[in-house]
Homo-oligomer: A and B are copies of this chain.
């Protein structure tokens, strides 16, 4: 069997002064070896995360080899919410959002009072599944297949390696030194 490849995304740190926020994608194989790093900028509290991530995936030289797109949660750069279903449609790849903690659904829905149009996108977050230390939601594949892919790309933590690395890089570039866990 050929080595699987996956891409994982996370965003950088930002302050309320920033209009744009760094987003980083990392391509690894299932041994965790980094094969590529991609980046772009998304709008703080904006609506462009789905489009920007889809463009990075679709224009990557690794596109044809990618088995899955992993995301750290679904909320980037404040309240720039990724529409998982649309991301799956735009890329033609399975999409798996992974989190260490259960999304704080009610808290976020309350905060989204000032962004009524975002509420619908975020509603999808209610249906996360639990698996060995992480919560996940998969679009484009069933949960059994999603768990198999999560397991394939776990190397040094419960979080799939492409997401762990995207977090380290995005925080290392925006803060000067990476910190915390994906």
Pick from B36, B56, B165, B173: contact of A24, CB under 8 Å: B173
User: A interface vs B, CB < 8 Å?
Assistant: 22, 24, 32-34, 36-40, 56, 59-61, 155-156, 165, 168-169, 171-173, 176-178
Residues in B with CB closer than 8 Å to A60 are: 177
Residues in B with CB closer than 8 Å to A176 are: 38-40, 56
Report the nearest B residue to A22, measured CB to CB: B173
Chain A contact residues: helix, strand, loop or mixed: mixed
Query: Contacts A60-B177, A61-B177, A173-B173; is A155 near B33 (CB within 8 Å)?
Result: yes
Residues in B with CB closer than 8 Å to A178 are: 36-38
In the docked arrangement, what's the CA distance between A42 and B75, Å? 33
Residues in B with CB closer than 8 Å to A33 are: 32, 155-156
User: Can you show 12 pairs from A to B with CB atoms below 8 A apart?
Assistant: A24-B172, A33-B156, A37-B173, A37-B177, A38-B172, A38-B176, A38-B177, A38-B178, A40-B176, A56-B177, A60-B177, A173-B173
